[in-house]
Structure 1
Amino acid sequence: MITCYVLSRHQKNSLCLSPYLDVDRMDDWKEDEEVVLKSSGMLTKSQKDEATYALYSAIDFCVDRWIQNKQYVPRLLICALIFTASYFVLSLAIRDPLPLIDEIAISVGLTLLGWSALAKRDTRSSVAQRRRYELKVRASERKEVIEQQLFVLEEYLDEASKVDALALCNSLCLVSEESPLPFVFEGTLDELSDIAALLFLQVRMSDKALLQTAHTLVRLRKQKRADSRLAARLYHQHMQKRIDLPLLSLLVALDEATG
């Protein structure tokens, strides 16, 4: 079963968490694999459309990476052949005062063009198209389930956007001992771990800078070391709207809650 989650956010796009971004799991999914979409309440038509678009985009990304990984060795061998052939042809056809330079430069250019063309061909192959179609059909026929425990995560994101940003930054960086946002999840640890893994996967694909900051905060808090400079930098980035501070706070809270 493929389990996905939707986290609604106030005045922001919903977060659609799915394992479709995990290319390594592609071969494990069967053609008739059931897809379940969990949310804290009934989704509106707009939210359903938004979730469908997010799932389809993730499937396209995953299938493209999956087929390119499978075809990596053949593509590498073909490109090596292109480079070798073009180099020897050009070395005989071009006479210049700087031997090797022009031949290597042109051969590398032709090899890169060949690599790009082969990668595009692979993503449009019948195998990729069939796999993409199968997954999208199952995603469109998904079963929608209400999971009230998800409301805790949504409420945390909502509250994090309302509290004083400087106090939240100081709390995350251990400059302040008080935590303005306690996190309590009454569901099972396995479910919370699954949600946390999917959220970290989503952020890794969409905002690597935010993920790196989250990992820095996790290490900092495990070492129980305060960092006022990092707190000031986070607050500055938040004021410039360059960082999603509520989401960052949730990432840290989930990491600590799941151990």
Structure 2
Amino acid sequence: MLPEVTATRYVTPLREGGSLPGIVEADDLGTYVMKFTGAGQGRKTLVAEVVCGLLARHLGLRVPGLAGIQLDPVIGLSEPDEEVQELLKASGGLNLGMDFLPGSLGFDPLAFRVSAAEAGRVVWFDALVGNVDRSWRNPNMLVWHGNLWLIDHGATMIWHHNWPTADAAAGRPYDASDHALAPFAPDVPAAAAELAPQVTADLIAGCVAEVPDEWLLDEPGFDGPDALRGAYVRALAARAPTIHERVTLGERSRDRPSQAPGWLTAGPRRKGGEQK
């Protein structure tokens, strides 16, 4: 199971995310970005963070370390922000923490170059887990000590919000046209050749086994946490072998040109440099 610590101090909220994560200190003297069971997205966001975060790390991608964090709601009594106070009060018990990366910077494609190979690995992984939240609008990547780190996997595996659709999810395509790494010509076929054979049922099962039972209880249609874990394994194992064949790069989005290389160089440009 995940290593477990106890929160000793709530430091500050991080208002960039819709779930209002916060920075906390814990009894192991570590500092964590904490996501709460009482947030609007609920415990499935935490499940997605654990499964995808551990899977990414097994595949050699950089993801902050994860830990379960026990929270005593009394910590919220001195919090002056009523919204934060209510969140802390609603999140007593086990929550999720990610190692805080001090001094890290938000990813900027104009300031940090990514190789086609690394971009391909990230795009392939996001296609595998159906990540809908790594676009130019919200890259969810950090640069720390000169390396690219992936964060915030709560908006992945969207089929687990409606399990009857999970079987169909194996064949669902992945539109990476607006992916934050599209400008770097991601080599998705090479990534698939390297990573897909590693995504075995045993590997996925090992990652899912780290999810605490209490986050998997009372799911309609499943007879307990182990049955639900099996459903995650089947969905991801079925998607891994061929998802690279259904990744789309380079198409226009509805509200602006894609950041993919072809759209950066082709066609006349409007005033200010934006393409038509």
TM-score by length of 2: 0.25
Higher relative helix content: 1
Max Rg structure? 1
TM-score by length of 1: 0.26
